[in-house]
Amino acid sequence: MKKALAIFAALFLSAGAFAQIVTPVKWAYAAKKTSPTEVTVFLKATIDDGWHIYSQHVKDGGPIKTSFTFAKSKDYTLIGPATEPKPITRYEKAFSMDVSFFEKEVIFQQKIKLKSAKVAAIKGSLEYMTCNDSKCLPPDDVNFNIPIAK
């Protein structure tokens, strides 16, 4: 009996090792100097077919909206909020409301005013939620460190 239980436990544990972690969104980052004192940061989400992430502008009661937090620094300040292209908006039963989202890919942009020529990188984090037509994944937090070309 103990041997059968041990075999069952080994099979159960090894099956868990083959479970895949679903990661339908890949993030990439870049920064472009637009003047000696300004930089535009690009945060690009590439989204697997059938999945979507939400706009920064989702009403309360809906899914977790995409949001960006930039590390505080004496060397730079944000110029306004992050911008995004026009999202797709439609009614989602899961939230009983119209929601705005992106499929395939989206590039968010943040303008930054440099106070110092020695800024090497812009650091921060982002939070987003991914859903498809049948399920939503828990919100994910991602840290970023975007180098600034001299």
- As a whole number, the mean pLDDT across the chain is 87
Q: Which domain holds residue 133?
A: 24-147
Q: Examine residue 115 and state whether it is found in any structural domain, yes or no.
A: yes
Question: In this structure, is residue 9 part of a structural domain?
Answer: no
Query: Quick check: is 7 in a domain?
Result: no
Q: Is residue 135 part of a domain?
A: yes
Cβ(82)–Cβ(67) below 8 Å: no
Q: What's 48's domain CATH number? A: 2.60.40.1250
Residue at 56 is within a domain: yes
pTM exceeds cut of 0.75: yes
pLDDT at 117: 76
Confidence band (pLDDT; 50, 70, 90) for 20? low
Number of domains in the chain: 1
Q: Between these two residues, 7 and 88, which has the higher pLDDT value? A: 88
The torsion angle over the Cα atoms of residues 95, 98, 102 and 107, rounded to 10 degrees, is: -110
Q: What type of residue is 38?
A: E
- For residues 14 and 26, what is the distance between their CA atoms, to the nearest angstrom? 28
